[in-house]
Chain A
Amino acid sequence: MKSWRWTIPLAIFVVLLAFLWTGLGRDPSVVPSPLIGKPAPAFRLAQLHKPEASLQPDDLKGKVWLLNVWASWCVSCREEHPLLLQLAKSDLLPIYGLDYKDKTEQALGWLRQNGDPYTASIIDADGRVGIDYGVYGVPETFLIDKAGIIRYKQIGPLTVEALKSKIIPLARELQK
């Protein structure tokens, strides 16, 4: 009995260490979305560049597409913007922008200044569609499959790592 007793505190310590270590590596501001695997919530919103035309998720059935939530007031949107431009140029999949709680003039100006990676942007002036998508920290990006199911959500700016390891491989897979 005596010979293995010293392993008990050691085991407790190791378990505690494992918990703390994983806790350290996690970002508390990233809350897993309950929408993954669920149909993209419906909306019908006016387009930023063509206010007379509207867009809804059903229009995009049969395509794998990205919905990127952005705003001209959003600081970290600038951070991910070059990646979005690059992704748009690669023609892998269409990127649609949800212009979240923004002023149309400022949004248009922002896109003129920084480049427009979006096939189309839609205006969510009061943020209601954002709420339906569980948006709480702009920018956020949703990968939506051909059947209109949300497959992946990136909270916060896109990174090269997230694109390379998750979004691009998953998009290619879903396009098959």
Chain B
Amino acid sequence: MSPRALCAAALAVVMLTATATAMDPAADALDARLKRLESELRCLVCQNQTLADSNADLAADLRREVRALATSGKSDDEIRAYLVARYGDFVLYDPPLKRTTWLLWLGPFGLLCGGAAVWWIVLRRRSREQVATKASDEASAARARALLETEDDLPV
């Protein structure tokens, strides 16, 4: 076979296998589901990476485990529960609201409320001060007017 024919044959094989793998919608759906699920799960070895992104050995094992659970018909929630039972809430990038995570979830709102309260107090105080300065402004204007009116009487 000439090199050109060899190339063409190789290309045909590649294209055929590519279309064959792309044509299985069930497998694609599973892959997409696993991809989405794995990007919500933390790799425990490299903690700032998701299970989907990590190259760690353990991440590969856990991906294998997640895939096995998914193909055996387990729901996403069941798979999450499986991992949480072993590694704790830490595996979830989206930790559930419970007693130990109250501060985590409600803390920002607490800080927001605190900030709003401080802001409100400052605004109220400032408006009160403005009223006070306005009053004192009027008083000094009256005094200035009085001074101006009596200017002629000043001993020069």
Interface residues of A (CB under 8 A from B): 28-29, 31-35, 101, 126-128, 130-134, 136-137
Contacts and interface: CB of A to CB of B under 8 A. Distances in A.
Interface string B60-103: 01100100000000000000000011111110000000000000
B44 interface: yes
B50 to A, nearest CB: 15
Contacts of A132: 86
A33 B86 CA distance: 7
Query: Which 7 A-B residue pairings sit nearest by Cβ, starting from the closest?
Result: A136-B44, A134-B86, A34-B88, A31-B90, A134-B87, A127-B61, A136-B58
A101 B47 contact: no
B65 A31 contact: no
A28 B87 CA distance: 14
B45 interface: yes
B57 interface: yes
Contacts of A127: 58, 61
B62 A131 contact: yes
Contacts of B58: 127, 136
Interface residues of B, number: 15
Contacts, number: 38
Interface of B: 44-45, 47, 57-58, 61-62, 65, 84-90
A29 B47 contact: yes
B85 A31 contact: no
Given A28-B47, A29-B47, A127-B61, A133 B86 contact: yes
Given A28-B47, A31-B87, A34-B88, 17 more contacts: A31-B44, A31-B90, A32-B88, A33-B88, A34-B84, A34-B85, A35-B86, A101-B57, A126-B61, A127-B58, A130-B61, A131-B62, A131-B86, A136-B44, A136-B45, A137-B44, A137-B45
Contact of B86 (A29, A34, A126): A34
Instruction: Determine which residue in A28, A32, A131 has the highest number of CB atoms from chain B within 10 A of its CB, and name it.
Output: A131
Contacts of B62: 131
A128 B88 CA distance: 17
A136 B87 contact: yes
Contacts of A28: 47
Contacts of A131: 61-62, 65, 86
Contacts of B57: 101
B47 A134 contact: no
16 contacts: A28-B47, A31-B88, A32-B88, A34-B86, A34-B88, A127-B58, A127-B61, A130-B61, A131-B65, A133-B86, A134-B87, A134-B88, A136-B44, A136-B45, A136-B87, A137-B44
